[in-house]
Chain A
Amino acid sequence: MSEDVNLFAQQEANRRHSRWLVIGFILFFAWLGFGGDFIAYLATAHAPPGAYHHVFPWFGIVLTALGAGMARYSFSTGPVNVLKSTGAREIVDAQTPTEKQLVNVVEEMSIASGITKPHVWLIDDPDPNAFATGHDESDANIAVTQGLVAICSRDELQAVIGHEMGHIKNLDVRLMTLLAALVGAVTLIADGAGRVMFNGGFGRGRRSSNDRDSGGGSSPLVIVLFIVWVVSWILAPFITRLLALGVSRKREYLADAMSAQFTRNPLALASALTKIENAAEPTRSIKGGAAHLCIADPLGRPLNGEEGRVAELFGTHPPMPTRIARLKEMGYEQSHQALAGAPVTQASA
């Protein structure tokens, strides 16, 4: 097998891809904010003395501050709210055999991943699903539905918990909350500006009149840049969302590969995903906001099942068949190279 199916190579590839997407996201965000300031600077640079000169990049700073503020707010309240909205119940003192097994499996995975044991929550929902949330490694939560515990074998449950542990270890909660907040900030401004422009208001009046005043002096380059910038803003809510979803999908692949690293048993996750996929019911108790942290899209199959390119672009998760195929590749790779010290377990699906 080529080396790109090795689980560590897969992890590295997904890290690299999501890093590029995040860099792209940040550059686009900077263009929306500071790019506008730069265009305004160019446009007003040759204005007569005494007229308005755009020197201080207040627009970029306001946009960045708005994004940072929203990120801070949603990060301080989000993880807890997500958990509360599902009606999850924390397992503090495991009573039934199933609860004990769940807690044991979480403990096993926290040893394998080398992080503090997260809080374990059980959601009363018959659809199999699970998600992770929390602020950092030492204060994390893993919630699973009744349905998941009911249909998964011990090894499969372990693999699903391993996936969630991967999200915790990669700080995905933080990353995705930040991106979601930035998308929110961009959408808020684009919507507001769009409404003001539509109503014939003066939201951008000052700047455009500035452009017109200095129109004689501004080069075609400035005009082209300005048009590109306005078009960017019109498309911004859409583009930023697509980029964030792209990051989300890469992080899912990464969490799958992390689970394979922790359990050294990628086939168990593959069979767990097959079971989850077959239970196509939407997970009603998990609201949309937490979708990117779940093992499978809580909305169910419609989007993730189709392998059409367009459907794929709008999914928080990669298509199930691709995820399962990658895990099987890792499993195949693994059977060819015995890993020293790997736990003695096997898929019992």
Chain B
Amino acid sequence: MIGIVLLVIIAVAAFWFVGVYNSLISLRNQVFNAWKQIDVQLKRRHDLIPNLVETVKGAMNFEKGTLESVIAARNQAIAATQSTTQLPSPQQVQATAAAEGQLSSSLSRLFAVVEAYPDLKATGNVAQLQEELTSTENKIAFARQLYNDQATVYNTRQQQFPGSLVAGFARATPAQLWEITDASEREVVKVDLSLNAGK
């Protein structure tokens, strides 16, 4: 009788262990996938910037400093990206976040300058590029939001008792959240690029 009870207890424990283990693995893959989504959007942003610079260059000769800082920030951001097959290390997340933060703030300065040139904004090309960049900025933000949300779920699952007992076996380590490191990015820089402005 005692033997049967013991057997049942062991079986239940084993099922529970496998369940938690698998859920940790699947959460880790979700976090990794979310990180990859950020990567895709960052790449897109890096690709769009030369176009933007080309388009506005001619009309903005005397704003060279702004343009150059965008280019420099882009190059730094590209240097900071490295592809991984694992969850990114905390250092890597922080480095990427810092470099992209720089790029975001120099881009928003550029947009603010563009606002000051109504002629430039009126050309279809710039308006289109602005919409593309706004969308890309949003996509980065949403990808980051998804990454942070899923990383939080993953971290909570591996830290809470009794899931924490299994975390070691699943080799689960807390995922680093993407935090905004640049003070200037914390400020809400609102550049209204909506096509329906004023409606």
User: Residues on A close to B: CB < 8 A?
Assistant: 97-98, 100-101, 104-105, 107-109, 111-114, 150-155, 158, 262, 264, 340-346, 348
- Cβ–Cβ contact A97 & B135, under 8 A: no
**B196 is contacted by which of A100, A111, A153 (Cβ under 8 Å)?**
A153
Please indicate the chain A residues that have their CB under 8 angstroms from the CB of B150 in the complex: 114
- Cβ–Cβ contact B131 & A108, under 8 A: no
Q: Give the contacts of B137-191 with A (CB-CB under 8 A).
A: 137-139, 141-148, 150, 177-180, 185, 188-190
- Cβ–Cβ contact A100 & B128, under 8 A: yes
- Cβ–Cβ contact A154 & B196, under 8 A: yes
* Complex CA distance for A238 and B126, rounded to whole angstroms: 58
**Binary per-residue interface labels of chain B (118-140) against chain A in the complex, 1 for a CB within 8 Å, 0 otherwise:** 00000000011001101101110
17 A-B pairs whose Cβ atoms sit less than 8 Å apart in the complex: A101-B135, A105-B135, A112-B145, A151-B199, A152-B196, A153-B197, A154-B134, A158-B138, A341-B177, A341-B178, A341-B180, A342-B141, A343-B138, A344-B137, A346-B188, A348-B192, A348-B197
- Top 6 A-B residue pairs of the complex, sorted by shortest distance between their CB atoms: A343-B141, A112-B142, A104-B135, A154-B194, A341-B148, A111-B142
**B41 is contacted by which of A100, A101, A111, A340 (Cβ under 8 Å)?**
A111
- Cβ–Cβ contact B177 & A340, under 8 A: yes
Q: Nearest Cβ in chain A — how far from B55, in angstroms?
A: 16
Q: Please classify how large the interface on chain B is, using the bins under 10, 10 to 19, 20 to 34, 35 or more.
A: 35 or more
Q: Nearest Cβ in chain B — how far from A335, in angstroms?
A: 12
- Cβ–Cβ contact B180 & A101, under 8 A: no
Please indicate the chain A residues that have their CB under 8 angstroms from the CB of B178 in the complex: 341
Given A97-B127, A107-B139, A114-B34, CB of A264 within 8 Å of CB of B194: no
* Complex CA distance for A98 and B37, rounded to whole angstroms: 25
Q: Nearest Cβ in chain B — how far from A146, in angstroms?
A: 13
